[in-house]
């Protein structure tokens, strides 16, 4: 099967990045803010699709969270979900970022897609490594293409809030509420994902790779090795349990350490938010919370006890996967995208018994209910040009509906694999790329304009799909919407340094690697609050976000 884009590799960036975009200029802040009532009026209705039935259905949790449906094999029926040809013969240009080799223009896949879509859509993939400089050049000259993908982690660089309504088309008249039912596949995209493309109480963006189960990541373990020792993930219910496990698993004389870095994925166990919380009506930053330093102290002690691999302590993370595959490290933090067919193939190549597992979310004290903040529903959003006429917008929305067809449908197969016999063949029930498919079919072209919600699928490795789906189902009720979830708020550039808090984050890293004490991080936080803009940031967020627009929950 041709390797597909891993949605979670992009979602992880959104989870790790600041929740609010740093847009310049007070005048443009109005374009980014959303009120609760205005947002509800602008967002599309949600109508789940029943066209393709998964092997493992989605499970609902709290706060709108739900697991991704799972497929143990690629659907053989390939049902059609779009009647006829969506386009009416229009000609358009589209730009998406591409981290890879740009296919030649006019190739057989592009031509086949244009025939299927009923439009001439000239795809112009741009170098993803320089995309953050390419797009501002276009916007400065007011020369955006008809359709463009703007990753949310660059919202501040692109000033998307300022472009909304000026260079980007307002889709509210076409998609708000029940109007989206004209486009059934777009209607099956979760509401939260649409919110990432809403600015100033109006809808502008079309989401891709959305999910109702988005977290920063998980604390993984070598399930095969632990179970051979009689250890199961369910035995770890507290921070003390995990520390004791570190003691049991570490054997430096044999070159085996229990842990690689886990801080980023474990500190929420102490009920620490990603960034902000509201207590008694007042905004509070995670650096102001005692439990933040309790979490840091635990990680400091972990490193000082010698349970953390020396290369992790030294910051050499390029070989972290190799350490995990070889069994030199048995517990490692990472994004959930690591749970994949490619990981299974790499792991079993190193050790035939390899099996990745993940600990369930737990509260550090072992008694409280675990709470894990949801990340952005997606960070891959495309926009249409405001110069387009209403009939052209409707035509491209019909095209987007085709691109958003559910996993395994006839349209999805075409968008992601091309023409059978030309770009792929079915091998053991799996679409497998031909030479032309490998050259011309890219996951970061058409799916970057629109795509269906995420699923869990690892053809040929059903154990991976079952394990991942079971873990999501066991943990979905722990998810909650954090303060300012999925909100698009413009922040003055003068506060971007305070939001990043790089000096504090550097001190935190030194501490959880055991090189400095918790007290030194506390001193760095104190400096950040008074001299690094932390107090000004908190006041600005209180005055301009919390007091005006609420928590976003």
Predicted confidence (pLDDT) per residue in 462-479, tens digit: 999 999 999 999 999 999
Distance, in Å, from the CA atom of 43 to the CA atom of 46, rounded to the nearest integer, reads 9
Q: What is the pLDDT of residues 181-234, one digit of tens each?
A: 999 999 999 988 999 999 988 999 999 999 999 999 999 999 999 999 999 999
**Burial (0-12, 13-18, 19+ Cβ within 10 Å), 7:** buried
What pLDDT is attached to residue 451? 96
Q: What is the CA radius of gyration of the chain?
A: 24
Q: What is the mean pLDDT of residues 333-342?
A: 92
Q: What would the pLDDT profile of 421-444 be if each residue is shown by its tens digit? A: 999 999 988 899 999 999 999 888
Between CA 320 and CA 123 the distance in angstroms is 36
User: Residue 444 has what pLDDT?
Assistant: 87
3-state helix, strand, coil in the chain (%, to 5): 45, 15, 40
Residue 514: predicted pLDDT: 93
On the question of pLDDT at 43 being above 60, the answer is: yes
177: β partners: 44
pLDDT digits (tens, 9 = 90+) for 142-185: 999 999 999 998 888 898 988 998 999 999 999 999 999 999 99
Q: Given pLDDT bands bounded at 50, 70 and 90, which one contains residue 36?
A: confident
Q: What is residue 50's predicted lDDT score, i.e. its pLDDT?
A: 87
pLDDT tens for each residue of 470-504:
999 999 999 999 988 878 877 787 888 888 899 99
To the question of pTM greater than 0.95 for the whole model, the response is no
| pLDDT of residue 32 exceeding 90 | no
Q: Mean pLDDT, to the nearest integer, of 325-345?
A: 94
Look at residue 494 in the predicted model and tell me its pLDDT. Answer: 86
- Share the mean pLDDT of the chain: 90
Q: What is the pLDDT of residue 368?
A: 95
What is the predicted pLDDT for the residue at 545? 86
Measure Cα distances from 248 to 256, 269, 306 in Å: 11, 21, 12
pLDDT at 13: 40
Confidence of residue 33 (pLDDT cuts 50, 70, 90): low
**Can you tell me the mean pLDDT for 251-275?**
94
* DSSP codes joined into one string, 385-407: BTTS-HHHHHHHHHHHHHHTPPT
The predicted pLDDT at position 26 comes to 33
When pLDDT is averaged across residues 103-130 and rounded to a whole number, the result is: 95
Please determine, for residue 323, whether its predicted confidence score (pLDDT) is greater than 70: yes
Overall average pLDDT of the 239-261 stretch: 96
Under the banding of pLDDT at 50, 70 and 90, the label for residue 25 is: very low
Give yes or no for residue 3 having a pLDDT over 50: no
Residues in CB range of 202: below 8 A, 6 or more apart: 42, 164, 165, 170, 172
Query: Taking 60 as the threshold, does the pLDDT of residue 27 lie above it?
Result: no
Q: Which of 67, 380, 341 is nearest to 214 (CA)?
A: 67
Of 176, 190, 151, which is closest to residue 48 (Cα–Cα)? 190
């Amino acid at each position: 099967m041709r390797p597909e884009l891993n949605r979670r590799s992009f979602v992880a960036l959104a989870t790790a990045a600041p929740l609010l975009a740093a847009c310049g200029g007070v005048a443009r802040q109005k374009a980014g803010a959303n009120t609760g009532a205005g947002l509800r009026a602008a967002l599309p209705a949600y109508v789940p699709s029943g066209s393709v039935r998964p092997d493992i259905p989605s499970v609902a949790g709290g706060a709108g969270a739900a697991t991704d449906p799972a497929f143990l094999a690629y659907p053989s029926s390939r049902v059609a979900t779009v009647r006829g040809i969506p386009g009416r013969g229009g000609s358009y240009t589209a730009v998406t970022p591409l981290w890879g080799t740009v296919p030649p223009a006019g190739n057989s896949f592009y031509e086949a897609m244009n025939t299927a879509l009923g439009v001439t859509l000239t795809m112009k993939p741009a170098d993803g490594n320089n995309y953050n400089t390419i797009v501002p050049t276009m916007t400065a000259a007011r020369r955006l293409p008809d359709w463009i993908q703007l990753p949310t982690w660059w919202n501040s660089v692109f000033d998307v809030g300022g472009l909304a309504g000026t260079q980007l088309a307002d889709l509210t008249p076409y998609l708000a509420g029940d109007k989206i039912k004209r486009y059934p596949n777009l209607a099956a995209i979760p509401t939260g994902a649409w919110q990432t493309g809403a600015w100033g109480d109006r809808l502008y963006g079309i989401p891709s790779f959305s999910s109702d189960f988005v977290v920063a990541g998980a604390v993984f373990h070598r399930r095969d090795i632990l179970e051979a020792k009689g250890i199961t993930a369910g035995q770890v219910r507290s921070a003390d349990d995990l520390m004791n496990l570190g003691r049991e698993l570490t054997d430096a004389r044999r070159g085996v350490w229990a842990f690689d870095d886990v801080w980023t994925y474990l500190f929420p166990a102490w009920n620490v938010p990603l960034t902000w919380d509201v207590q008694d009506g007042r905004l509070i930053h995670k650096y102001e919370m005692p439990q933040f330093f309790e979490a840091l102290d635990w990680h400091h002690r972990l490193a000082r006890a010698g349970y953390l691999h020396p290369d992790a302590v030294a910051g050499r993370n390029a070989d972290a996967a190799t350490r995990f595959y070889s069994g030199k490290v048995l517990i490692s933090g990472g994004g959930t995208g690591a749970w994949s067919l490619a990981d299974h193939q790499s792991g079993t190549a190193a050790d035939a018994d390899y099996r990745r597992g993940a600990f369930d979310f737990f509260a550090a004290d072992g008694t409280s209910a675990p709470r894990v903040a949801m990340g952005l529903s997606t960070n891959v959003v495309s926009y249409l040009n405001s110069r387009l006429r209403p009939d052209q917008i409707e035509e491209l929305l019909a095209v987007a509906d085709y691109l958003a067809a559910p996993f395994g449908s006839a349209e999805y197969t075409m968008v992601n694999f091309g023409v059978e016999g030309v770009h792929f063949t079915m091998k053991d029930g799996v679409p497998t790329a031909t030479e032309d498919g490998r050259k011309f079919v890219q996951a970061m072209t058409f799916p970057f304009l629109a795509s269906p919600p995420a699923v869990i699928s690892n053809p040929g490795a059903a154990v991976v799909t079952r394990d991942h789906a079971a873990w999501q189902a066991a943990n979905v009720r722990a998810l909650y919407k954090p303060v300012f979830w999925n909100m698009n708020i413009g922040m003055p550039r003068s506060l971007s340094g305070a939001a990043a808090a790089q000096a504090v984050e550097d001190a935190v890293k030194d501490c959880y690697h055991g090189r400095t004490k918790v007290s030194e991080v506390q001193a760095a936080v104190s400096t950040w609050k008074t001299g690094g803009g932390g107090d000004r940031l908190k006041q600005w967020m209180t005055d301009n976000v919390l007091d005006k627009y609420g928590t976003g929950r």
